[in-house]
Amino acid sequence: MSDIIQLLPDHVANQIAAGEVVQRPASVVKELLENAIDAHSDHIKLIIKEAGKTLIQVIDNGVGMSVTDARLSFERHATSKIRAAEDLFEINTKGFRGEALASIAAIAHVELKTKQENAEVGTEIKIEGSEVISQEVCVTPKGTSISVKNLFYNIPARRNFLKSNAVELRHIIDEFHRVVMAHPSIRFDMYHNGSEVFNLPSSNQRQRIVNIFGGKTNEKLVPIKEETDLVAIGGFVGKPEYAKRSRGEQFFFVNDRFIKSGYLNHAVNAAFEGLLKDKAHPSYFIYLKVDPKSIDINIHPTKTEIKFEDEHALYAMLRSTIKHSLGQFNVAPVLDFNR
C-alpha cells in the first residue's frame, strides 16, 4: 500500500479559490472597492481599460499598509479584519475571508503601491501568478493603489469565455452602483479607457441615487423609515406609477452591504399589492441596519446572500413600513369615509 495524498502547493490552492471569488472583471472591481472602503478611505478612484480585461486599478486614500502587511496581504487566509472564530458573528467590515488578494494575484499581474500616513516611504510589490516578482521602496501618497492587469492570463478557458467589452462593462457598472449606493458619503470616480464615467461627490443616500439614476429619479422616491429593536429601515421606494417592466432598480443594503433576497423582495411586492399594473416591478432602494450578531454573511464567497436570525419579523416590518409610507404620500388609493 502506498500513500497518494498531498497538500496542494499554495499557488494551486489560490487558483482554485479564485474560481469561486473571481468570475469576471466585475468581481475584481467589487473586491478592490470593498478593500478600499474597509481601509477608511473617503475618496476612491476606479480606473479600467477594455472593460477590465487589460486593467482594473483602484486608488484609495485610506490607511495603507506596512511593508510586512503589504506582502502578507497576498497570502491566503491573511486578513486584518477578524482574529477568531467568534468574530465571524459580528462582522463590521466588507471583507473578512482573507482570500480576495491571494485569489486575484493567482490569476493576474498585480502591482500594489501602499503607504501608511506616518511612514516616510511606501512599498511597491509586483506579483504574477502568485509569485512575488519584486518588492521595493517607493514614493507614493498615503493610501493604496492596486493594479490588476491581464486577468485570467494563465487560465485561457476563463479568458476566452469573457463576454464582449459592452457586457463586461455593464457588469462592472452594476457592481459599482451597488458599492457606491451602499456608501454615499465616500467620494467615488470611475474612468474607462481614459474617459470619466462617474464623478460622485460625497453626499447622502437620496443624492447618490439621483446622481446615478438621473435627475428624474428624485420626484419618484418615497422615503421609508422605521426603527425597532430588530431593525432600522431607511431608504426609498419608487412611486407605483414609476414601476417598470424590468427589475433594474431593486436594491437591498444590509449594514452597508448590497444583498439579494427573494424573500424580502416578496415583502416589498406584498406592500405594493393592488397598486401595480400586471408584471410591473416596483423600484426600491432599501437600507436595513441590524445587529451584526443577528445575521450570517458567511454563506457564500461573494457575500451577496445572508441569513437573518428573524426573517419572518423582518418581512412583516418591511411590508407594513412600505405600505404605511405609500399611504402617507397619497400614492395608494385612500378610502374616504366622509362620503
Positions that interact with ligand ADP (CB under 6 A): 31, 35-36, 39, 60, 62-65, 73, 78-81, 95-102, 144
Q: Which residues, listed in sequence order, are joined to residue 113 by a DSSP beta bridge?
A: 124, 145
Distance CA 286, CA 162 (A): 32
Q: Considering only residues 268 through 287, tell me which ones interact with Mg ion, judged by CB under 5 A.
A: none
Please give the Cα distance from 209 to 205 (Å, whole number). 6
Shortest Cβ distance from residue 290 to ligand ADP (Å)? Answer: 21
Instruction: Give the Å distances, CA to CA, from 215 to 168, 219, 220, 251.
Output: 26, 8, 10, 18
Instruction: Work out which of 17, 37, 100, 268 binds Mg ion, going by CB under 5 A.
Output: 100
Burial class (CB within 10 angstroms; exposed 0-12, middle 13-18, buried 19+) of 168: buried
Q: Near Mg ion by CB under 5 A, which window of 31-39, 155-163, 204-212, 220-228?
A: 31-39
Taking the least distance from each CB to Mg ion, the nearer of 100 and 172 is 100
177 Ramachandran zone, left/alpha/beta (phi>0; psi -120 to 50): alpha
Report what 122 binds from ligand ADP, Mg ion, none; CB cut-off 5-8 Å by kind.
none
Site membership for Mg ion, residue 35 (CB under 5 A): yes
Alpha carbon 191 to chain centroid, angstroms: 18
Burial class of 238 by CB neighbour count within 10 A (0 to 12, 13 to 18, 19+): buried
Q: Binding of Mg ion at residue 179 (CB under 5 A)?
A: no
| Window 124-163: contact mask with Mg ion (x via CB under 5 A) | ----------------------------------------
- The smaller minimum CB distance to ligand ADP, of residues 36 and 209, is found at 36
Stretch that binds Mg ion, among 29-37, 219-227, 293-301, 304-312 (CB under 5 A): 29-37
Q: Stretches 90-98, 110-118, 138-146, 265-273: which one binds Mg ion (CB under 5 A)?
A: 90-98
CB nearer Mg ion, residue 35 or residue 114: 35
96 contact, one of ligand ADP, Mg ion, none, CB 5-8 Å limit per kind:
ligand ADP
Owner of C-alpha cell 362620503: 339
Nearer to Mg ion, 51 or 102 (CB): 102
Does 95 sit near Mg ion (CB under 5 A)?
A: yes
Closer to Mg ion at the Cβ: 73 or 321?
73
CB proximity list for 64: less than 8 A, separation 6 or greater: 39, 114, 115, 116, 117, 119, 122, 142, 143, 144
Residue in 23, 39, 326, 282 with CA at minimum distance from that of residue 175: 23
Comparison of 73 and 261: residue with beta carbon closer to Mg ion: 73
Cα angle 62, 111, 199 (rounded to 5 degrees) comes to 50
Which span (2-10, 91-99, 140-148, 260-268) binds Mg ion, by CB under 5 A? 91-99
End-to-end CA distance of the chain: 92
Shortest Å, Cβ 187 to ligand ADP: 15
Q: Which cell numbers hold the place of 1?
A: 500500500
Task: Provide the binding-site residues for Mg ion, judged by CB under 5 A.
Answer: 35, 95, 100
